[in-house]
């Protein structure tokens, strides 16, 4: 292929220019190749448009007709409804746009229009109406199958189709790969609906294959080419550690420990993801790995995403290894030059992002543990690893990650799962509480506090917002203390408190000086209070499923039965589905699968924090089978022809990485 022509800036395509090029940039389209890979999100089949008289409610339809009348209704709440009456030879239907009165200027009686959307009976006057999702003025181009592209402000469907048609006619022939050319043509200008599926699957496979090839080659380099520090796991050392802890490992912990110990003594750097639900005992497994590293004469570092979690790890591990190792904590609050210098003599350092600073140096770092990895980007992981000589890496997450997401995010890591909770733990009972039943939840809380238990109240905001009618932590703490539970001791925790203030609140909670703690989602990770058995989550419909599951994991950490109350007003089907999933299961993996389906991977994890790749064609939810096939094919290629696999990746990795960067920059702008 002629890379120079496909790399032509989009502004030089006929019909674009500098102004429209800036709008295309919002979609991640900078070059001709980007434009050709701007794949439609769906296709509208206009080969057999029904007469309006044949349309029935509860279906998605395309309607073609002439505008008979136009009306704009204004409700008391300043909500507008634009109604355009469209008719053909058989009947008339209302096409409805909500809160878009400015569109009235585009339409006039007699104009021919094509609209598509969900058909339903109007609750107001019980006539048939179509809630418009897409529309365009009918110019008689007679397209049988119309591609629907992602759009942005200032870019309209007809203009976009015209620009892509020009690019196809001018540049598509520059691609050397005939299959690639034919697949793109089938997506942009399909002659039949049956062409679309195979074409999209071909391009998705190729994209995922190259991505997995890169991940597996990186993994191969770690496992076969890099030399790491061999860390012995002698039976005497393991027995010494087990004597430090007052419990026995579960079978699941023993199983993942076998994986980790084999990695540590292999002489190759470990590169492993340790996945386990909240409360499954990941931290103590990491503590054993750190213990072995130090006993073998090396240093270990644990990176946590929040000060609260870092403090919690430090408190537990400093006590566990008291008199044995030198353990320090390094956060923005403690990161003085003196602390940094001390790292040369430290055995185990626990810290937040402060660990990543250039001034922080180690003498013999051999083990890096990253907790709640999805809170960090890939580059942050690499930055810490560079502080040692090919150190062992153990990545931990309590966020259950579906298989497709794990293969994408952590495809270069080996994976171990703790799928068992410690004995004596009971599943948390979860209930939805409508706002008008809030008082019943309060009475239940009084009962539990009288029994000696403690309670979490979680709110979405720190302070009251004029724009959002949400419970704010500051106001809720005041209300609960003064109006609801004057006889109880209520504390407040949120991200704007200073580190010293957070520590003081946590000490009061752990010493049972507080009965209720009102908090924002700052407690999502790092809070371990076995005596807390009740959690109330206000505006539960505002949270994602995985976040609700993480929050719920702060209770149920002792032997007593725990309860989670989801208070809110779920107004959408998606919100109701989230709350239903929380009530029906405590299985983190089932919840994560549901969250992935409902919200997609970007919203589920947060693309900026997770390092989640953006694909041009592939969809990791819909294409999980293709993803697994692509990974198997990439693995087979590497085993069959290691040199050929390496050469292919080197020849194409610039294109793969470039497209990822473009898509990520457009998604974050």
Q: What is the CATH number of the domain that holds 26?
A: 1.10.150
522: exposed, middle or buried (C-beta count within 10 Å: 0-12, 13-18, 19+)?
A: buried
Q: How far apart are CA 513 and CA 526, in angstroms?
A: 19
Looking at residue 122, its pLDDT comes to: 79
Q: Which is higher by pLDDT, 402 or 331? A: 331
Residues 491 and 528 in one domain: yes
Query: Same structural domain for residues 62 and 38?
Result: no
| Virtual torsion, Cα 660, 666, 668, 669, nearest 10 deg | 160
Domain boundary residue among 383, 418, 453?
Answer: 418
- Asked whether residue 148 is domain-assigned, the answer is no
Residue 348 and residue 300 share a domain: yes
Q: Which residue has the higher pLDDT, 329 or 228?
A: 329
The pLDDT value given to residue 342: 61
Lowest mean pLDDT among 85-89, 151-155, 159-163, 641-645: 151-155
Q: Please tell me whether residues 25 and 165 are part of one structural domain.
A: yes
Three-state DSSP state, 576: helix
- Looking at the DSSP bridge assignments, the partners of residue 518 are 457, 492
Nearest to 546 by CA among 596, 495, 506, 477: 596
Q: Residue 302: which CATH number?
A: 3.40.50.300
pLDDT at res. 668: 47
Return d(Cα 233, Cα 171) in angstroms, integer.
Answer: 60
Cα distance between residue 621 and residue 616, in whole Å: 14
For 306, which DSSP code? S
Name the residue among 164, 144, 166, 167 with its Cα closest to residue 156: 164
Band (pLDDT 50/70/90 cuts) for residue 572 is confident
Structural domain count, the chain? 5
How sure is the predictor about 101, in pLDDT bands with cuts at 50, 70 and 90? confident
Average pLDDT, the chain: 85
Assigned domain for 599 exists: no
305 within 8 A of 606, measured Cβ to Cβ = no
Distance CA 193, CA 186 (A): 9
> Rounded CA gap, 28 and 12, in Å?
16
The predicted structure's pLDDT at residue 603 = 57
Does some domain include residue 35? yes
Same domain, 170 and 23: yes
Angle between helices 157-171 and 178-188 (to 10 degrees): 160
Helix or strand holding residue 377 (H, E): none
Strands (E), 332-410: 348-351, 365-371, 392-397
User: Both 23 and 87 in a single domain?
Assistant: no
Which helix H or strand E contains 488, and what residues bound it?
Answer: none
Per-residue pLDDT, 194: 93
Contact 1, 175 (CB under 8 A): yes
pLDDT in tens, 435-466: 888 999 999 999 999 999 999 999 887 666 55
Cα-based torsion angle of the residue sequence 447, 452, 458, 464 in order, rounded to the nearest 10 degrees: 80
Per-residue model confidence (pLDDT) at position 663: 58
β-sheet bridge partners, residue 367: 300, 392
pLDDT score for 608: 43
How confident is the model over 351-405, as pLDDT tens digits? Answer: 888 888 878 888 899 999 998 766 666 667 777 888 888 899 999 987 767 777 7
Residues 294 and 368 grouped into a single domain: yes
Q: How far apart are CA 40 and CA 188, in angstroms?
A: 7
> Is pLDDT above 60 for 338?
no
pLDDT for the residue 641: 95
How far apart are alpha carbons 193 and 89 in whole angstroms?
A: 28
pTM score, two decimals? 0.69
Q: Are residues 521 and 651 in the same domain?
A: no
What CA–CA distance (Å, rounded) separates 62 from 113? Answer: 10
The reply to whether 344 falls in a domain is: yes
Tell me the average pLDDT across 165-178.
Answer: 93
CA nearest neighbour of 391 among 355, 342, 338 = 355
Full residue range of the structural domain in which residue 233 is found:
226-418
- Residues counted in the chain: 669
Specify whether 367 is located in the same domain as 348: yes
The confidence band for 13, taking pLDDT boundaries of 50, 70 and 90, is very high
Q: What does the alpha-carbon distance between residue 189 and residue 418 come to, in Å, rounded to a whole number? A: 49
Per-residue model confidence (pLDDT) at position 1: 40
Give domain status of residue 613, yes or no: no
Q: How confident is the model at residue 605 (pLDDT cuts 50, 70, 90)?
A: low
**What is the per-residue pLDDT for 664?**
55
| 3-state SS, residue 176 | coil
HSE value, Cβ hemisphere, 13 Å, CA-based, for 202: 16
Strand order in the sheet with 516-519: 429-434, 563-568, 532-537, 454-458, 516-519, 490-493
Residue 390 shares a structural domain with residue 482: no
Are residues 239 and 335 located together in one domain of the fold?
yes
Is the pLDDT assigned to residue 2 strictly greater than 50? no
Q: What is the mean pLDDT of residues 546-551?
A: 84
Is residue 609 pLDDT above 50, yes or no?
A: no
The two tokens of residue 189 are 């200008």
The residue among 418, 440, 469 that closes a domain is 418
Q: Is residue 568 part of a domain?
A: yes
Residue 302: predicted pLDDT: 94
**Cα(162)–Cα(528) distance, integer angstroms:** 58
Please give the Cα distance from 243 to 246 (Å, whole number): 7
Residue 514 domain flag: yes
Same domain, 230 and 170: no
H-state helical runs in 410-542: 438-450, 473-479, 499-510
User: Do 537 and 548 touch, CB atoms closer than 8 A?
Assistant: yes
338 domain-assigned:
yes
- The segment with the largest mean pLDDT, out of 132-141, 272-281, 483-492, 582-591, is 483-492
């Amino acid at each position: 292929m002629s890379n120079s022509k496909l790399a032509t800036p989009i502004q030089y395509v006929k019909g674009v220019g500098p102004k429209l090029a800036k709008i295309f940039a919002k979609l991640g389209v900078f070059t001709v190749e980007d434009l050709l890979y701007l794949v439609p999100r769906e296709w509208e089949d206009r080969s057999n448009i029904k007469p309006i008289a044949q349309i029935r409610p509860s279906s998605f339809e395309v309607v073609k007709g002439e505008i008979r009348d136009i009306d704009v209704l204004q409700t008391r709440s300043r909500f507008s409804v634009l109604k355009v009456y469209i008719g053909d030879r058989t009947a008339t239907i209302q096409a409805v746009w909500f809160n878009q009165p400015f569109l009235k200027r585009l339409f006039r009686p007699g104009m021919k229009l094509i609209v598509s959307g969900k058909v339903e009976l109007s609750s107001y006057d019980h006539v048939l109406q179509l809630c418009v999702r897409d529309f365009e003025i009918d110019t008689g181009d007679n397209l049988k199958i119309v591609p629907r592209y992602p759009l942005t402000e200032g870019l309209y469907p007809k203009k976009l189709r015209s620009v892509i048609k020009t690019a196809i006619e001018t540049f598509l022939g520059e691609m050397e790969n005939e299959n690639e050319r034919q697949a793109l043509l089938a997506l942009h200008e399909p002659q039949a609906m049956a062409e679309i599926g195979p074409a999209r699957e071909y391009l998705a496979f190729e994209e995922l294959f190259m991505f997995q090839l890169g991940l597996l080659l990186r993994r191969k380099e770690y496992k076969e080419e890099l030399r790491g520090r061999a860390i012995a796991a002698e039976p005497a050392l393991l027995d010494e550690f087990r004597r430090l802890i007052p419990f026995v490992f579960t079978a699941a912990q023993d199983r993942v420990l076998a994986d980790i110990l084999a990695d540590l003594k292999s002489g190759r750097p470990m590169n492993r993801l340790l996945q386990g639900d909240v409360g499954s005992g990941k931290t103590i497994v990491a503590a054993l790995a750190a213990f072995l590293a130090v006993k073998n004469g090396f240093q270990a570092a644990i990176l946590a995403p929040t000060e609260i979690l870092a403090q919690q790890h430090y408190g537990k591990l400093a006590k566990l290894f008291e008199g044995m190792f030198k353990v320090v904590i390094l956060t923005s609050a403690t990161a003085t030059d003196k602390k940094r210098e001390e790292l040369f003599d430290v055995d185990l350092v626990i810290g937040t992002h402060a660990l990543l600073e250039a001034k922080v140096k180690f003498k013999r770092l051999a083990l890096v543990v990253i907790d709640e990895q999805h809170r960090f980007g890939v580059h942050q992981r690499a930055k810490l690893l560079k502080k040692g000589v090919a150190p062992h890496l153990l990545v931990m997450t309590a966020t259950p990650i579906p298989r497709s997401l794990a293969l994408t995010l952590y495809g270069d890591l080996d994976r171990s799962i703790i799928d068992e909770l410690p004995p004596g733990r009971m599943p948390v009972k979860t209930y939805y509480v409508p706002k008008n039943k809030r008082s019943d939840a309060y009475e239940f809380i009084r009962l539990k506090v009288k029994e000696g238990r403690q309670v979490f109240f979680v709110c979405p905001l720190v302070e009251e917002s004029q724009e959002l009618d949400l419970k704010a932590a500051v106001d809720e703490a005041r209300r609960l203390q003064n109006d609801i539970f004057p006889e109880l001791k209520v504390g407040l925790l949120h991200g704007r408190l200073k580190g010293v203030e957070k520590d003081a609140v946590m000490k009061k909670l752990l010493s049972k000086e507080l009965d209720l703690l009102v908090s924002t989602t700052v407690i999502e990770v790092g809070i371990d209070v076995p005596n807390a058995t009740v959690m109330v989550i206000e505006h539960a419909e505002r949270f994602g499923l995985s976040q609700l599951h993480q929050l719920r994991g702060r209770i149920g950490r002792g032997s007593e039965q725990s309860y989670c109350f989801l208070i809110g007003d779920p107004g959408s089907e998606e919100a109701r589905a989230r709350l239903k999933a929380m009530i029906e299961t405590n299985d983190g993996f089932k919840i994560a699968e549901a969250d992935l389906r409902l919200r997609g991977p970007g919203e589920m994890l947060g693309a900026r924090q997770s390092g989640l790749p953006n694909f041009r064609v592939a969809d990791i939810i819909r294409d999980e089978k293709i993803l697994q096939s692509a990974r198997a094919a990439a693995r087979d290629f590497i085993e069959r022809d290691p040199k050929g696999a390496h050469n292919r990746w080197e020849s194409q990795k610039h294109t793969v990485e470039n497209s990822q960067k473009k898509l990520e920059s457009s998604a974050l702008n």
